[in-house]
Every structure is written in C-alpha cells, then in structure tokens.
C-alpha cells in the first residue's frame, strides 16, 4: 500500500475511533510501514491509534517504531497501558525503552512485572549504550549436550513463540557456560536419537558483553552469522545479538562516521526528527574550534605580509594551492578512516600504506603542478610559474600525508579515527599550505 | 586462533605439502578466518593450500574469499580444478566469479556444467552489478499452496543441504508467481495436516530484479527480513537476496558514499589490495576539476585586487572566513547526503529541512561573528571588525544553504547526492565567500 494512502487510512480510523478499520490496516500493510506512518502522527494521535488494537498487535507494532518515537509515545500513554505493553515487548526492546523513560516512569513500571522479568529488564538496561550488552536479547534458545535431538526439537517447538530466533541454538552446561552451537537446519536433518553434543560445533564465535557494537556487527558480517552469543566476565552465556540488530548498528555506525567526517557530533535522533537547537549544538563546537585553526593560516599570511604587498598577484593563486592541498588531504583522510572502520586496513599496515601514499601523492602533485605552471606563467611570468608549480607538488604531498597519518595517530592515542574529518584536515592543511606557498615565493622571488 | 598463528600454521602446511595438517586447520579455525589468512598468501601459495583440501571444503573456503581474491586465485588454477570447484560453489557466488573471469576462461568452464546449471550461471551473471539480480541466489526453497505441512517439511528436509536458507520459504503457483511466504518456525509449529495456503502470509514484501542494491538492503533492514524474494518483469519468482549479502551490500554502499564524500571515485578493490595506480586514477579527476573551481576564488580576489592592496590586513581574515563557510557547508552536505541515503529525509521534506537550516545557520553565523568581531577590532580597528562580522554571518549562512541544497539538486537531476562532497562544497563556498567578504569590505570601507 502506498505510504500516503496508508497514512490517510490510519487517520480516518483514528478520527472515527473505529477499532475494526484500525485493525484492518494490519492486514493491508506490513507493521514496519504502519509504524513509519504512525511517526507522522502527533504522539497523542499515535497513542489513540495503538489503543484501538489488541495488546499483542500493539506490542508488535510498537517494536517497529524508532527508539525516539517509542519514548515519545510512551510518555503520552497512561501508566496502566504502558505497563501492559511493557510486559508484552521483546526483551531487548523493552530494556532500550526502559532506559529512555524518566526515572519516575521507570519506578512505576517495574512493580507490574514478574520478578524474573524485572531482573531481566534491570540487567539488560544496565549495559552502556553501543555495547554488545545493550544490543543483545535474553530471548534465545538453549539446549543441553546430553539431550537427544528429539527432545531438543520438542523444546524448540514449545519455546518458538517466545524466542527471537530458534534457527540457531546454543548448548550450555550446568553453569551456563557456552559449550557448543547447533542450527535448526542441522537438528531437523539429524537422526532424532543422536545426542546434541555429538552434533554440535564446539568452536563457537562469540563476544564479550562489553564489546563495542561496531565490533559485534563486524563479527556477524565476517562470519555470516544469524546471531552472535554474548558471554559475561565469567564466560557464561547471557544473551545473543541477532543479525537484524547488528545491521541496524552497522548503519548507525556508518551514519555516525559520515557525520563525524564533516565535524558534526553524533546526533541523538534521525535527521527528520532532530530539532534545530540540537543541530546547532552538534555543529557549533567544531566550527568554533576550527576558527582557531584558521587563525594559524591568518598568522602565516601576516608573517608574509611584505611579500604579499609586493606581489599581490600571489594572492590570486592562494585559494588554488591551499584548496588543492585540502582536497587531497580530505581524500586521503576519508579513505583511511573508512578502511580502518571496515577493518580493510589495520594499524600494522600503516608503513605499507604510507609508502604507497607517497607515490600516489607525488604523482597527483606533479599532475596538478603541470596544470598550474601554465596558468602561473600566463598570469605572473615564469618566476611565479615556478613558485606555483613547486608549491603545488609540496602542498598536495603535505596534504595527502597529513590526511593519511591523522586517522592513524588518532587511533593510536585511542581516539576515534573518524574525528580526522574533512574540515579538520582542510584547516590544518590550509595553514601548512600558506607557509609552504609564501615560503617558496619569498625564497624563489628573492624577497 | 590468533591471525598470525593461523597464518604461520597454514604456511607450514603449504610448504610441507601436508594434506593432514592443511585439513586440521579447518577444525581449528572458522573458514572466514582461514580465508582472510589466505589473502596474505600469493595466489600460487593459495592455490597450493586449497589443492590440499577435499573439494567440498575447498568450495566452502573459497566462498569466504573476497570477490577480488577469488578471481586472482581462479586465474592461477588449472582448468580442471577450476571446473570442479565451479560446480560445487553456491549459485550466487558462482555467477559473481564467472563475471570476473576472462572470456576465454568462461568458455572453457561452461561445458563442464549440467545444462540447468549452465543456464543458471548465464542468467545470474547477466544482471548488471549492484542490482537485486546480481545479489540474489537461485538456491531457495519453494512450496506449493495445496501441500499439507507434512509434505512441505519433508521436502525442506530433503533440500536443506543445497539451499542457502530453508528458514523462509516461498509459495508459488504453477506459473512460478509468488503467492505467499511461510517461515520454518511457523511450519514446525503447525498441525502437519493443514495446508500451506491456509497458513501462509499472502502480503509478501518483494523486489524487482533490476532494483538497486541500496534499496534491496534498505528493504531487508526495514522489514527485518531473513531474505527478500526477487521477481522478474512477469512477476515470476527468480531468486532471493539473503540478509548476509544485503549486509555486505549496505556496508559497500556506505564505503562508496564515504569515498564520494571526499571526491574519490568508487574503488574496485578494498584499500588493502588496491594499487597505487588505481588510487591515482580515482582521485585525480576530481582534484583537477576542483582546480577550475578554485580559479573562481582566484578571479574574485583578482577583481578586488585594489581593495586588497590598500588593506593587506584584510587577507589575514580570508582563511578564517572562507574556511568557516566551507566547514559549515561540509557539515550541512554530509548531514543531508547521509539522511537521503538512509531514507531519513526524502525529497518532499526539503522545504521543511531548509527552513530549519536557515535558523540553525543563522545562529551558527551569529555565534561565530561575535567571536571574530573582537578579533577584527583588535587587529584592524572597528571598521574591519564590522566587515568581518557581517561577512561571517553571510558566509556561514551561504555555505550552509549551498551544502544543504546541493544534494537535493543532484538528487533531482538523477545524480547521486553523495557527489555533493566536502571538497566540492568547500570549493564552491570558497568562491562565494571571497566575493561576499571583499564585497562587504569594499562597500563598508568605502573603497
């Protein structure tokens, strides 16, 4: 169904308070699409629509909303409705929502849950954001090694409705230590009388509960996993991260890197929901900081004021030279930041990468020097032409090397290499470029 | 096992030509890790190691290699070995490899396959890169609506070893039209005597064979799918794209966008394998093109040469002003490009986004103007201070709006919005900034 039609249908149902037509939309469209349409409603309208649905439908739909929208809508719901919804949600989504509620709401919600669920929420909600612990769910299927396949399948059938996945199962011992893994595919192909421990794979790819979500997503992608088991400090199985949550995390990380690459701090909401005030706050820090960087370029210019006053024509080439250096630097930085993020290049490769970069940057600088030499001759004579050409090779090489090294250096001092953004590199290279250019000019023109 | 240890173990096995220890590594490490270690070998060494394994093990391992490495290693293999391997590979990976082989190799490989497989390779290999067709596999499980669950499960058990997934099945009619979908979870929970058509969901999220891989990955993520069915122009089911391939495609697209964001054309190989020559080629085009952009800034400076000659102090603030405009523009462009790529913002939202941007950019400009006013006063007197402050507000606003609008304009004329890269925006904003700054200066200083 078209998004606009869907929105109109939902709006009619809400206005009329019509339970039947509200529920009918669930047959017509995928819950992910309905959730998206609901995001266009005000929170009150959304609460109204959700109240027309049965509780299980309500919970499914709620799960497809963005965390941001979930929290907004939850704030508008009555305590009783929220408590009922809360008990029906999936374990990982429930914990995420819990973390986004006010302390007051949190305190009124917990008593409504059973003891075990309460502890589960507290535990899952306790892990820091962007870690395996925050991403994982406790709704996974476990088996025991001494069970026959027949018993394992029976248990999976019983538990299927409550588990996030039954396609990959985890074999644990009496102390919840992870001893193996088995897929449902392998189980249904196996002789029902064989034992789980005879069939399971014992080399299980896993992660620790405090691992960064970027690493989690990379592991799931690298090993083509449906889910990645998560262990605590005592190596006990405490949860799994499923591929769909890992995919969301990977996209979130790419967005964060794309924003950092332009010196914007991480936004707390998607671009269609973020407020102007937040955008201002996330941008102003770096803009002001970079002003001080630009002052270095200014200082460089001030230092060479005599040279400039004598040859004002030199200023004509300044944007060209420092711009090209900045552009080459941005290219190198972006290539390195992304290669470090995807794991294509590791810290240990840096010498090899540096060698190649010197050659590439040299070739790029020479190409550009040839182009500007002609231009320099035409506008300022042969001397200016040589100044501009020499400066171009040097500035492009300096820019490329700065752009290449900065992500490595940041990574080395345990900062996010993505901070080596285009604007930061450009600002540093600008100042370097000014010094190189006017330095050459002063020397060659004998000023 | 540690990567270095694994590499050493493999190397020993290869040097000794020891089949037993070569196979033993398969027990010790995940094939994905072995494949990664193999990439550090020369192609000849890799072929040697692979030849020590049984054909099925060989095929599994080969599947984990990057497409680039697959093609390199295939080139070193004997025709017979390659043909044998080829017949054992997964359908989608086989077609990808086929596309990367020389025409000569292609011609010698095809006769070795059965008629049906030959047609399958030809068909899968015929779809353009980065489309659903190129990403999909033909190894999927289909059911018929009139079958009882019992029969469906029996068929899945039989086919399980050959299918990429049996967890999501697709129900087709006599003409291969897609009529429904059913998960293995639903099947094993159902009464064995019920019919597939009574249980299946008939609203199936699907895609067309020529759809862009970015859209495919977005759909799989949006609907949390294990696999997305692909239909041809006559709406017949021709393949499925699985979540793991979609995740790879999403990361590939993010990498491409990150590179474009710094004016680098799409690389054909990962950063650790790309040659210096390719890096040069992919970077030089934009660098040279942007030189002509920078000439506009130079021309602006030339136009105001008299102003500059009278107030050389003005040059001091130039990097600061044009730099800030460029930085603000890069921020806006990166935010918009990413929001368009993830679908957080659509073309229709552009008026709303523009309104917010005007406020944010105005606030940012004012903040920065306050900072530089003091500086201007200190260095050049109150008149220069006013020039610099006014110019700052205007340049930051102009930069932000250019950065915001460029991705929308590119998207409108059917170009990739990611081309609105930092360097391109910076170059355009630089020229604009020069005109604004010296324009203000000439007017206010009454020159």
β-pair partners for B148 = B195
Terminal Cα-to-Cα distance of chain B (whole angstroms): 73
Residues A351, A357: Cα–Cα separation, whole Å: 10
Residue numbers in B near A166 (CB within 8 A): 185
Q: Determine the pLDDT at residue A189.
A: 92
**CB-based contact A139:A163 (threshold 8 Å):** yes
| Sequence ranges of chain A with CATH classification 1.10.357.20 | 276-444
Q: What is the CATH number of domain B276-444?
A: 1.10.357.20
Long-range own/partner contacts, residues A352-355 (CB < 8 A, 24 or more apart): A353/A404, A353/B271, A354/A401, A354/A404, A354/A405
Our CA-based measurement puts residue B302 at a distance from the nearest CA of chain A, in whole angstroms, of 6
Does residue B354 belong to the interface with chain A, where contact is any CB pair within 8 Å?
no
Residue in B319, B331, B359 nearest the CB of A430? B319
Instruction: Give pLDDT tens digits for A216-249.
Output: 999 999 999 999 999 999 999 999 999 999 999 9
Dihedral sign for Cα atoms in the order A34, A39, A42, A46: positive
Residues B283-308 have a mean pLDDT of 88
Q: Is the per-residue pLDDT at B27 higher than 80?
A: no
Closest by CA to A255, choosing from B368, B335, B302, is B335
**Closest chain B CA to residue A320:** B294
Question: Helix (H, G, I), strand (E, B), or coil: what is residue A6?
Answer: helix
pLDDT for the residue numbered B447 = 63
* Whether the predicted pLDDT of A208 surpasses 80: yes
Question: Quick one: three-class SS letters along B218-271?
Answer: HHHHHCCCCEEEEECCCCEEEEEEEHHHHHHHHHHHHHHHHHHCCCCCCCCCCC
CB pairs under 8 A between A and B: 323
Inter-chain CB proximity B326 and A423 less than 8 Å: yes
Which residue is closest to A257 within chain B, CA to CA? Answer: B258
Of how many residues is chain A composed? 447
Side-by-side strand order, sheet with B227-231: B207-208, B227-231, B237-242
* Top-confidence residue, B394 or A24: B394
Q: Identify the band that residue B2 occupies on the pLDDT scale cut at 50, 70 and 90.
A: low
Q: Are A9 and A25 in contact (CB under 8 A)?
A: yes
Q: How far is A51 from chain B (nearest CA, A)?
A: 23
> To the nearest whole percent, how much of chain B has pLDDT over 70?
99
Strand-by-strand arrangement of the B165-172 sheet:
B140-143, B165-172, B178-183
At residue B183, does pLDDT exceed 70?
yes
The neighbouring-strand residues paired with A228 are A241
Q: Are B242 and B227 in contact (CB under 8 A)?
A: yes
**A326 vs B contacts (CB less than 8 Å):** 423, 426
What is the rounded average pLDDT of the residues B341-354?
A: 84
Quick one: CATH architecture of A135-260? Roll (3.10)
Distance CA B147, CA B199 (A): 11
pLDDT of residue B10: 82
Residue A445 structure tokens:
């023109």
Of A257, A312, A339, the CB nearest to B309: A312
B141-172 pLDDT per residue, tens: 999 999 999 999 999 999 988 888 999 999 99
Listed in sequence order, the residues at least 6 apart from A20 whose beta carbon sits closer than 8 Å to its beta carbon are: none
The residue that leads in pLDDT, A307 or B225, is B225
Output the pLDDT for position B233: 92
C-alpha span between B127 and B343 (Å, rounded): 25
Q: Which of residues 387-426 of A touch B (CB under 8 A)?
A: 396, 422-423, 426
pLDDT tens for residues A414-432? 888 888 888 999 999 999 9
pLDDT class of B31 with cuts at 50, 70, 90: confident
- Number of neighbours of residue A196 by Cβ within 10 angstroms: 23
State how far the Cα of A241 lies from the Cα of A246, in Å rounded to an integer: 7
Query: Does the distance separating the beta carbons of A359 and B320 come in below 8 Å?
Result: no
Shortest distance between the Cα of A52 and any Cα of chain B, in A, equals 22
pLDDT band (50, 70, 90) for residue A344? confident
Nearest to A319 among B156, B248, B430 (CB): B430
Domain with CATH 1.25.60.10 in chain B: 3-126
Taking contacts as CB-CB distances below 8 angstroms, the residues of chain A near B160 are: 185, 188-189
pLDDT confidence bin for B1, thresholds 50/70/90: low
pLDDT score at A2? 67
Helix crossing, B313-342 with B382-412: angle to 10°? Answer: 30
| CA–CA min distance A89, chain B (Å) | 16
Cα B309 from chain centroid (whole Å): 49
Residues of chain B in contact with residue A284, where contact means CB-CB under 8 angstroms, are 363-364, 367
| A204 CB burial (10 A radius; 0-12, 13-18, 19+) | middle
> Dihedral (C-alpha) A312, A313, A319, A320: value to the nearest 10 degrees?
-160
Q: How many CA atoms lie within 13 A of B172 on its CB side?
A: 17
pLDDT-wise least confident of A154-163, A183-192, B9-18, B201-210:
B9-18
**Stretch(es) of chain A classified as CATH 3.10.580.10:** 135-260
Say if the Cβ atoms of B434 and A319 lie within 8 Å: yes
Q: Is A42 left (phi over 0), alpha (psi -120 to 50) or beta?
A: beta
**Most confident of the following: A222-231, A270-279, A287-296:** A222-231
Query: What is the per-residue pLDDT across B32-71, written as a single tens digit (0 to 9) for each?
Result: 888 888 888 888 888 888 888 888 888 888 888 888 888 8
Q: Among B287, B310, B348, which would you mutate to test the A interface (most chain A Cβ atoms within 10 Å of its Cβ)?
A: B287
What residues does A208 pair with on adjacent strands? A231
Taking the C-alpha atoms of residue B51 and residue B77, their distance in angstroms, rounded to an integer, is 9
Q: Pairing between strand A140-144 and A165-172?
A: parallel
> How do residues B75-85 score in pLDDT, each as one tens digit?
888 888 888 88
Structure ipTM: 0.85
In A257-286, the residues whose Cβ lies within 8 Å of chain B are 257-259, 261-264, 270-272, 276, 279-280, 283-284, 286
Please name the CATH architecture into which domain B3-126 falls. Alpha Horseshoe (1.25)
Pairwise CB contact (< 8 Å): B430 & A327: no
CA distances from A349 to A324, A336, A339, B427 (A): 27, 11, 11, 32
Check if A294 contacts B (Cβ < 8 Å). Answer: yes
Residues in chain B, total: 447
C-alpha closest to that of A376 among A394, A364, A388: A388
Residues from chain A that touch B166, judged by Cβ atoms under 8 A, are 185
Within 10 angstroms of residue A193's Cβ, the number of other Cβ atoms is 8
pLDDT at A333 over 70: yes
Mean per-residue pLDDT over chain A, rounded: 89
Burial class for B113, CB neighbours closer than 10 Å (0-12, 13-18, 19+):
middle
Of the pLDDT bands very low, low, confident and very high (cuts 50, 70, 90), residue A447 is low
> Does A301 touch chain B if contact means CB atoms closer than 8 Å?
yes
Are B189 and A298 an interchain contact pair (Cβ–Cβ within 8 Å)? no
Summarised one tens digit per residue, pLDDT across range B313-333 is 888 888 899 999 999 999 999
**Cα–Cα distance measured from residue B165 to residue B242, given in angstroms and rounded to the nearest whole number:** 8
B372 contact residues in A (CB cutoff 8 A): 291
Per-residue pLDDT, B161: 85
Average pLDDT over residues B113-128: 88
Residue A3 at interface with chain B, using a CB cutoff of 8 Å: no
């Amino acid at each position: 169904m078209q998004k606009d039609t869907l929105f109109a249908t939902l709006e009619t149902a809400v206005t009329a308070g019509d339970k039947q037509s509200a529920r009918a939309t669930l047959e017509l469209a995928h819950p992910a699409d309905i959730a998206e349409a609901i995001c266009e409603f005000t929170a009150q309208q959304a609460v109204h629509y959700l109240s027309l649905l049965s509780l299980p439908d309500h919970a499914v739909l709620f799960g497809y909303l963005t965390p941001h929208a979930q929290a907004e809508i939850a704030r508008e719901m009555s305590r009783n409705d929220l408590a009922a919804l809360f008990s029906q949600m999936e374990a990982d989504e429930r914990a995420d929502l819990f973390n986004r509620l006010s302390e007051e709401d949190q305190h009124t919600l917990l008593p409504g849950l059973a003891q075990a669920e309460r502890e589960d929420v507290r535990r899952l909600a306790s892990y820091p954001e962007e870690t395996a612990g925050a991403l994982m769910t406790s709704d996974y299927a476990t088996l025991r090694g001494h069970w026959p396949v027949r018993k394992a399948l029976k248990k999976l059938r019983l538990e299927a409705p409550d588990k996030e996945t039954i396609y990959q199962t985890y074999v644990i011992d009496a102390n919840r230590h992870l001893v193996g893994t088995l897929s449902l595919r392998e189980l249904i192909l196996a002789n029902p009388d064989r034992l789980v421990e005879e069939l399971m794979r014992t080399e299980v790819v896993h992660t620790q509960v405090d691992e960064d979500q970027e690493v989690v997503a990379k592991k799931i992608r690298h090993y083509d996993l449906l889910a990645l088991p998560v262990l605590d400090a005592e190596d006990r199985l405490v949860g799994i991260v499923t591929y769909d949550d890992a995919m969301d995390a990977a996209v979130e990380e790419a967005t964060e890197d794309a924003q950092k690459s332009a010196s914007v701090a991480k936004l707390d909401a998607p671009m269609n929901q973020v407020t102007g005030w937040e955008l201002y706050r996330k941008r102003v820090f770096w803009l002001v900081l970079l002003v001080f960087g630009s002052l270095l370029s200014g200082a460089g210019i001030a230092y060479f004021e005599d040279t400039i006053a004598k040859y004002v024509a030199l200023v004509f080439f300044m944007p060209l030279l420092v711009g090209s250096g900045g552009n080459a630097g941005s290219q190198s930085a972006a290539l390195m930041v992304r290669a470090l993020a995807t794991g294509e290049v590791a810290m240990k490769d840096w010498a090899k990468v540096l060698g190649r970069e010197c050659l590439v940057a040299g070739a790029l600088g020479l190409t550009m020097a040839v182009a500007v030499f002609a231009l320099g001759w035409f506008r300022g004579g042969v001397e200016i032409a040589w100044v501009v050409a020499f400066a171009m090779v040097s500035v492009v090489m300096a820019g490329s090397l700065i752009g290449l090294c900065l992500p490595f250096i940041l990574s080395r001092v345990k900062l996010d290499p993505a901070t080596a953004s285009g604007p930061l590199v450009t600002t540093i290279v600008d100042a370097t470029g000014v010094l190189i250019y006017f330095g050459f000019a002063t020397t060659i023109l004998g000023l």
